[in-house]
Structure 1
Amino acid sequence: MNLTLSDEQAMVRDMVRRFLADRYDATTMAKGPMPPDDWRALGELGLFALLMPEQDGGLGGGAAEVMIVSEEMGRALAISPLAECILMCGRAIIGHPATEGWSERLLQGDALLAFARGGELVNERLTASATIVRDGMDADAFVVETEGGALFLVDGQDSGVGRMPVRLVDGSMAARVHFDAAEAIALTVSVNQWVEAQALAGLSIVAELVGAMATMLDLTIDYVRQRRQFGKTIASFQVVQHRCARMYTWLEQSRSLLLKAAMVDEEARGRAVTMAQAYVCDAALKLAEEAVQLHGGMGVTDELAVGRGLRRVLLLSRLHGGGIAARAALAA
């Protein structure tokens, strides 16, 4: 297993890191969803096309590229719809003649797609009451997986689409979405393609968590080296050193599982991602809570990045059932 980035992959990592560093620092990260102009700029850079299959008009990036891009997003605590909008919805619609216009807009960053579950097709119209849909208020269209497992694309401007806003813990806006005889375009996606899309979305979430863990650990180390108590920095206290060492262990174990999930063969990726989720979701939340504890009372406020980071990690670690659902799937 080769764990070294190629020159092209290193260039992608550095490009995304510079892009985000110009827009986020400790005072601005995780303060709100990524602005539409920044999302569009990433599309114009070709980042979204990079993560699409080459046979469908993308640039052929695979799991390693998904890991690289997502981890940098996590490092910046950027609140973006990358996992579901690009890796799930994008891979569901790209390559279909009926959705060509949506695919082009999606890859350019001009359209936002959200993923929803539930409902059924009645008289070629979709009727469903979806659960909370991430980015559902801003979505231009929805990829809907019905109770029978079929996939459909629904235009967000359809008169049969109803939305009720829901604010999530990280400050982003979701929606309770209801489809009432909405026009739906059937998506012919093979089982293997859809399984791979879901695995890559899960990998993206794990990578974001690992990136967020790295940032929160760095912020905590910097803080304990500066904070003074009883005439010395608290970093000199053995108990603080032990807690920081434990945080570092959680991060490195999480990173190892992430690398394994990204580097295995496609056939084994689903299980490897589930294994990573089973550990990383809980480890990331524990690390974030430790970071807040070591920052003291200010750690829970919006003034410090660790407080905002905790809320971001709390959301990411609960998506699609989080670690609990992952462990249940492994035990089944």
Structure 2
Amino acid sequence: MNFDLTEDQALLKAAVERFVSDSYGGDLEARRAARITPAGFSTANWARLAESGILALPVSAANGGLGGGRVELAACMEALGRGLVAEPVLDAAIIPGKLLDGAGATAPLDPLMAGTTLVALAHAEREARYNLAHVGTTARAKGDKVVIDGIKSAVLAGGTADVLIVSARLSGGTRDRDGIGFFQVPANAPGVDRRSYRLADGSVAAEIALRGVEVAASAQLAEGLDTLTPAVATARLAAAAEMLGLMTLLFDNTLSFVKTRTQFGQSLGSFQVIQHRMTDAYVLVEQARSQVVRAALTPAEDFARAAAGAKAFVAEAALTVAHTAVQMHGGMGITDELVIGHALKRIRVLALTFGDATAALDDYRRAA
């Protein structure tokens, strides 16, 4: 079977790689400068991503997007991961874009794809423990409006989001799969209390409290957890592909380091134990690549299960490769002076997106 990218797919990936080269060029200073901004990323780079169409990748052509498939998505996210890009493509484009596209909500999609409005999904809650059906936030009708009350945790890209997609319970118990609605809420609406904080990789997330927040009844985008499921599966594939890019970056940098770093009068790479560790890391990188490709090519009816399995495997493999890279570099491997520490921290955040490896494997098992 031919796993090579088509001409169009290769051109799309090359465009992402040009963006990485032009915006970052392998220079950590550019990444540091982007991370210390209040948003945690470069707004100029975000505009460039919008111009290139990357923000429109997960949106169907019927809704004005590129209508990219899973292979295109994986190829682009791998390139962004290898470039250690600071912009929240996964958090503020793929997740909300896929959710809005599936709900048929075209109005908020246009500014999202144009890069002029930052949209974030506010779904997770402290007591949920990665259970997507756990929604304690409530939504009750009040005339032609809806009143939302609740607290959302770990809202990725929520620190500077302009619009929130808030899940709230319309009926049923806290962990019922039915009775969950999704609402478009302006982040500056009265009653929205946002506390921003930095994640391990320097990105900006938020704890968001909604106290009597009133929105129009028309702000409801969709009802039912099935609206979220495709977005979760797509996000898991995207996270796995980004981690694959990070693994490749870590491996290449570490291989170059052990070839040139001398100890006891010879290069580190000449020691057999180092060769064994690097061989193990290489195998994990290639196994992770196989998992990403397999998930991207899986038929639609099995995609959610394949994406969960891929993310579970790649997350564990990426952490192992990252820890190996840190050990090979010694104490400086964990500092901000090298890409190793930056990549490790990003992998840790991605590994927990929509559940850790155990949670992803539970979804994989249930779908069997």
What's the TM-score, normalizing by structure 2?
A: 0.85
User: How far is the alpha carbon of 1:42 from its aligned partner?
Assistant: 0.7
Aligned 8 A contact 1:206 1:280 in 2? yes
Q: Residue 143 of structure 1: which of 156, 161, 165 is its match?
A: 165
In 1: Cα distance, 2:186 partner to 2:21 partner = 34
Q: What residue in structure 1 maps to residue 290 of structure 2?
A: 256
User: Partner amino acid for 2:138?
Assistant: E
Q: How far, CA to CA, are the matches of 1:165 and 1:264 in structure 2?
A: 38
Q: Report SS of the residue matched to 2:206.
A: strand
The 10-residue stretch of structure 1 (225-234 or 17-26) with the greater mean CA deviation from structure 2: 17-26
Alpha-carbon separation, structure 1, partners of 2:101 and 2:307:
23
Q: Where does residue 87 of structure 2 map in the other structure?
A: 80
Q: 1:152 to 1:259 in 2, by over 3 A?
A: same
Q: CA distance change for structure 1 residues 112 and 274 in 2, over 3 Å: closer, same or farther?
A: same
Contact 2:180-2:225 within 8 A present in 1 as well? no
From 116, 121, 124, the equivalent of 2:139 is 121
- Residues 1:132 and 2:154 are matched in the alignment: yes
Q: C-alpha offsets along residues 4-34 of structure 1, whole Å, 9 cap, x if unaligned?
A: 2111110000010011112221534753243
Counterpart residue type for residue 299 of structure 2: D
Contact 1:112 1:139 in 2 (8 A): yes
For residue 214 of structure 1, what is the aligned residue in structure 2? 248
**Structure 2 residue aligned with 1:169, among 196, 200, 219?**
200
- Give the C-alpha shift of residue 94 in structure 1: 4.0
Q: Distance in 1 between matches of 2:104 and 2:303?
A: 29
Q: Which residue of 2 aligns with 1:329?
A: 363
Does the aligned pair in 2 maintain the 1:92–1:189 contact within 8 Å?
A: no
Identity of aligned residues (%): 35
CA contact (8 A) 1:220 1:295 kept: yes
Distance, in Å, in 2 between the alignment partners of 1:201 and 1:16 is 18
- Are residues 1:43 and 2:50 paired? yes
State the number of aligned residues. Answer: 331
Quick one: distance in 2 between partners of 1:189 and 1:88?
A: 17
- State which of 60, 67, 71 in structure 2 corresponds to 1:60: 67
CA contact (8 A) 1:20 1:76 kept: yes
Aligned counterparts of 2:248 and 2:29: Cα–Cα separation in 1? 17
The answer as to 2:98 corresponding to 1:91 is: yes
CA RMSD of aligned residues (A): 1.9
Task: Give the Cα–Cα distance (whole angstroms) in 2 for the partners of residues 166 and 219 of structure 1.
Answer: 30
Q: Does the C-alpha gap of structure 1 residues 29 and 202 become closer, same or farther in structure 2, counting only changes over 3 Å?
A: farther
Cα distance between partner residues in 2 of 1:292 and 1:29: 22
Shift of 1:172: 1.4
For residues 142 and 134 of structure 1, the distance between their equivalents in structure 2, rounded to whole angstroms, comes to: 11
What per-residue deviation string (whole Å, max 9, x for no partner) do you get for residues 85-130 of structure 1? 2222123334878751x32111011111111114110231211111
Residues 30, 305 of structure 1: 8 Å contact kept: no
Residue 235 (str. 1) matches residue 241 (str. 2): no
Q: Given the alignment of the two structures, is residue 297 of structure 1 paired with residue 328 of structure 2, yes or no?
A: no
How do residues 93-112 of structure 1 correspond to structure 2 at under 5 angstroms? Answer: 93-94=100-101, 100=107, 102-112=108-118
Looking at structure 2, the residues matched to 162 and 193 of structure 1 have their Cα atoms a distance apart, in angstroms, of 26
Contact map agreement 1:67 1:262 (CA 8 A) in 2: yes
More off after superposition, 179-188 vs 87-96 = 87-96
The CA distance in 1 between the partners of 2:333 and 2:363, in whole Å, is: 34
Q: 1:116 to 1:178 in 2, by over 3 A?
A: same
Q: Which residue of 2 aligns with 1:157?
A: 188
CA distance in 2, matches of 1:98, 1:246: 46
Counterpart of 1:23 in structure 2 is 23
Q: Distance in 2 between matches of 1:83 and 1:173?
A: 13
Contact kept in structure 2, 1:261 and 1:269, CA below 8 Å: yes
Separation in structure 1 between the aligned mates of residue 82 and residue 104 of structure 2, nearest angstrom:
37
Cα 1:281–1:84 shift into 2, 3 Å: same
Shift of residue 207, structure 1, vs aligned partner: 0.5
SS of structure 1 residue aligned to 2:212:
strand
Q: State how far apart, in whole Å, the 1-side matches of 2:272 and 2:321 are.
A: 18
Per-residue Cα deviation, 1:246-280 (whole angstroms, up to 9, x for no partner) = 11111110110000000111111100001111211
Superposition map of 1:241-320 within 5 A: 241-320=275-354
